Structure 1
Amino acid sequence: MPCSRLQTALSEGLLSQCDTVLLILLTISGRKRREEKRREEKRREEKRREE
């Protein structure tokens, strides 16, 4: 769901507190996954350079 639609739903009270917490947790876990992928890519690049 696009950010603007989420903000509208939140401001209009269409999402419960539980829904909001779940969205926050999903956002955080997605960021952590992306950061971990970046770290793995950097490690692979460093290994290639060493070889």
Structure 2
Amino acid sequence: MASIAPTLLSEHSAVSGAALRTFFNIADAWSLSNEQAMALLGLHARSTFFK
């Protein structure tokens, strides 16, 4: 079971990265402001958004 965890983590990271890239591409195409994009992501802190 321990050997599966690193594989799942790397797959999760790859999917998360692709999802965020897609989100920001859509946000850009829709000309969303940073505040609008943050609201859609459920973020309240600007520092989290710009990481």
Return the TM-score normalized by structure 1: 0.56
Consecutive unaligned residues of structure 2, counting only runs of 5 or more, are 32-51
Please provide the CA RMSD for this pair.
Answer: 0.7
The structure whose residues are more often helix, as a share, is 1
Show the 5 A alignment for 1:5-44: 18-44=1-27
Larger Rg over CA atoms = 1
Q: Percent identity?
A: 10
Distance in 1 separating the partners of 2:14 and 2:3: 17
**Displacement over 6 Å in runs of 4+:** none
Count of residues in Structure 1 that have an aligned counterpart in Structure 2:
31
Query: In the TM superposition, what whole-angstrom CA distance separates every residue of 1:23-42 from its partner, at most 9, and x where no partner exists?
Result: 00000011100000000000
Q: TM-score, normalised by structure 2?
A: 0.56
Identify unmatched segments of 5+ residues in structure 1.
1-17
1:19 to partner: Cα distance: 2.2
